[in-house]
Amino acid sequence: MQNPESAAVTIVDFTPEHAASFRELNEEWITRYFVMEEADYKSLSDPQSYILDKGGFIVMAEHNNEIVGTCALLNEGNGVYELAKMAVTPKAQGLKIGKKLGLAILEKARQVGASKVYLVSNRTLGPAISLYRSLGFGEVPMPPSIYARADIKMEIEL
């Protein structure tokens, strides 16, 4: 039986009114597990210019009239997108928001004819790996690089 609280989560497209929530959620999430990089600061400060205007997408999860989750697709060109900026507030954990965000953002990718969506992560996000697998992502070898941001890469062919 579905959790009624989980059923009350709706997915909405990003609007300028969501900018503060997008930045706050992602800064908290990124700094918990990663180091904020210049690209993070740019995309979080101006998602319109650094994500949307470049052909990417952002969806937001709303629960009880509050934004509790975000997810973005970054356009890499040639039909390839990076799934990034997926974050859920701590108080909304357990509402299956990550799954709803993931399904919504993959649908956006399909609508624009994307051929592939990939993500990179690190193994400290172990529980998220099972979420990504449930969305259809499979692990692929990371190309060797001293500049690698993470140690795991997953992708899904659409």
Statement: the pTM of the whole predicted model exceeds 0.85? yes
CATH number at residue 77: 3.40.630.30
Of 77, 137, 140, the closest CA to residue 105 belongs to 137
| CB burial string 39-74: b at 16+ within 10 A, e below | ebeebbeebeebbbeeebbbbbbbbeeebbbbbbbb
Q: What is the predicted pLDDT for the residue at 110?
A: 97
Residue 105 inside a domain? The answer is yes
58-67 pLDDT, tens digit each: 999 999 999 9
Burial class, 79, CB count within 10 angstroms (exposed 0-12 / middle 13-18 / buried 19+)? middle
Residue 63 inside a domain? The answer is yes
Q: Domains in the chain: how many in total? A: 1
Query: Is the pLDDT confidence value at 1 over 70?
Result: no
Q: Give me the count of residues in the chain.
A: 158
Supply the DSSP symbol for 143: P
11-28 pLDDT, tens digit each: 999 999 999 999 999 998
Residue 120 inside a domain? The answer is no
| CB burial string 80-90: b at 16+ within 10 A, e below | ebbbbbbbbbe
Residue 141 inside a domain? The answer is no
Residue indicated by tokens 């609508």: 111
Owning domain of residue 57: 4-114
Instruction: Report, as an integer, the average pLDDT of 22-47.
Output: 89
Residue 153 inside a domain? The answer is no
Query: Is the pLDDT confidence value at 88 over 50?
Result: yes
Residue 130 inside a domain? The answer is no
Residue 136 inside a domain? The answer is no
Residue 20 inside a domain? The answer is yes
Q: What are the residues facing 138 on neighbouring strands?
A: 155
